[in-house]
Amino acid sequence: MVPYLHNYRLFISHAWRYSEGYTRAVSFLNGSPYFKWTNYSVPEDRRFGNMSIYALKEELRDQIRPVQCVVVLAGMYAAHSDWIQFEIDFARSLNKPILGIVPWGGERTPLCVTLAANKVVRWNSSSIISGIREITP
């Protein structure tokens, strides 16, 4: 008999233009045999068409509202700080736990991600999954 696996509802913060980190994170989560999750973020191949900043913010809000945890790829912060900060701020306004992932091969994580995150982990599947389990209600 297969044990019950909790289904984690996650939003992974990312930028379509730089989707390698996002793809790697999704692969880690999908590759774990005892981890079940639903991805509420929109990958590059399903990206939105041209829309106003207001409309894009509303799309992001709609993706973040139902999740149990927001995963922030800290390496993306420098290039996309406005959008990632928006996602962090909105997640915090809803009391969503935030998991920060240290940049791949990086030693330093942006301070704003460190301050916002409930937990910061390194780039490997076991630490990411245990971090999600630890901070998600």
pLDDT single digits (tens) 58-97: 999 999 999 999 999 887 655 567 888 999 999 999 999 9
Residue with tokens 């207001």: 54
| Ordered structural domains, the chain, with CATH | 7-135 (3.40.50.9200)
Is the pLDDT at 129 greater than 70? The verdict is: yes
pTM: 0.89
Tell me how crowded residue 62 is: count the other CB atoms within 10 A of its CB: 10
Largest CA distance in the chain: 50
Q: Mean pLDDT over residues 54-58, rounded?
A: 92
Higher pLDDT, 47 or 91: 91
